[in-house]
Amino acid sequence: MKRVAILTGGGDCPGLNAAIRAIAKPFILEDKTEVIGIADGFEGLIKRRVRRLSYDDVSNILALGGTILGTSNKADPFRWKVGGRELDCSDEVVRYLKELGVDVLFCIGGDGTLSIANRLLKKFPRIIAIPKTIDNDLAATEQTFGFDTACNFVMEAIDRLHSTAQSHHRAMVVEVMGRYAGWIALQGGMAGGGDIILIPELPFEMEIVLEAVRRRARKGKKFSIVVVAEGARPRGGGLIIKKKVEDSPDPIRLGGVGNFISEEIEKNVGCESRVIVLGHLQRGGAPTFFDRILATRYGIEAVRLARAKDYGRMVALKGGKITSVPIGLAVSRLKLVPKKHPLIMGGMEIGVSFGVESIT
């Protein structure tokens, strides 16, 4: 291989730079292969914005959050919006890759980025994917990097909220990210000792949530911590949407369910309630130990696949071991929290409410 290219697409997350480093260094040090960094995900291929990555560029970036390459969650070469029209720029993107002399394209992203990569395989088959997303909703891998760091932040935020909730006898509602999956709310909420955890996979009944707050008060616990995923919804109701971004492949921006729950608690229980929307704080900061190692392992395996010319695959974590799967399998469905996940069943045994009477 003479030249390889790397892009990071979709939402940023801790561990992206660790993955870039793990891919670039073996090529630079051992293979004497030129490494090209593509700016801002697929947008860089559409607008022809790339740069050569040197050894110094990928040194001392392991602990950095975000991505040195930039990213975009709007750029889709199959649906590039110009002047109110959607254009298919995929052929131009492939021509540009060939002009650059790219032997392998490494795509680091979540379900949106890797869905684009899967479609692009038909026109440029030399693609290898690396899974990242704080939402942990990519199928065919046990965990994506970025997720552990996000959950650690949620846990630490809940830890800090306990003291003020207890002091003021409040119900603190913590709204977390995750889109249509409840992994962050479930694991971050359980680690932080959330009293009520609401996830998209279990549509909640508001009266059960209210009764959980009342029950704690009857037991002398005059405060409650409610952790709610942004995609959670009441039984029989729809998603609460903050806004729509029309020029995005996924135009829906969730948000507001925390306010809804807080208002219902104040109105029906009588205790004071506050809402904390953690938002993009969950995406920022240095990656945890686990995410640094996972991103590095993924990058090293991606290089091995490229050297073996085993294209069209995504690296994955299974049973603690790094393996790979077809990219198409990884984006065939969203990985949602099973209703009878051990943390849910165990949580119910220790008194955590999930807004439902029982799970069948």
Q: State pLDDT tens for residues 314-347.
A: 999 999 999 999 999 999 999 999 999 999 999 9
Q: Tell me if residue 40 is catalytic.
A: no
Question: Can you read off the two tokens belonging to residue 341?
Answer: 């996940």
Q: Which of 148, 149, 145, 150 is nearest to 21 (CA)?
A: 145
Instruction: Name all domains of the chain by residue range, CATH numbers in brackets.
Output: 3-145+287-330 (3.40.50.450), 148-284 (3.40.50.460)
Which comes out higher in pLDDT, residue 200 or 82? 200
SS3 109: strand
Which member of 12, 40, 57, 135 is catalytic?
135
Which amino acid is present at 79? R
Pairing of strands 171-176, 127-131: unpaired
Distance between CA atoms of residues 11 and 331, nearest Å: 16
pLDDT band (50, 70, 90) for residue 243? confident
Side-chain-side CA neighbours of 193 within 13 Å: the count stands at 11
Q: Can you tell me the mean pLDDT for 160-184? A: 95
DSSP 23-85: HHHHIIIII--EEEEETTTHHHHHTT-EEEEPTTTTSS-TT--S-TT---SS--TTSEEETTE
pLDDT at 249 over 90: no
pLDDT band (50, 70, 90) for residue 360? confident
pTM score of the predicted model: 0.94
- pLDDT at position 248 is 67
Which amino acid is present at 197? I
Q: Can you tell me the mean pLDDT for 90-112? A: 97
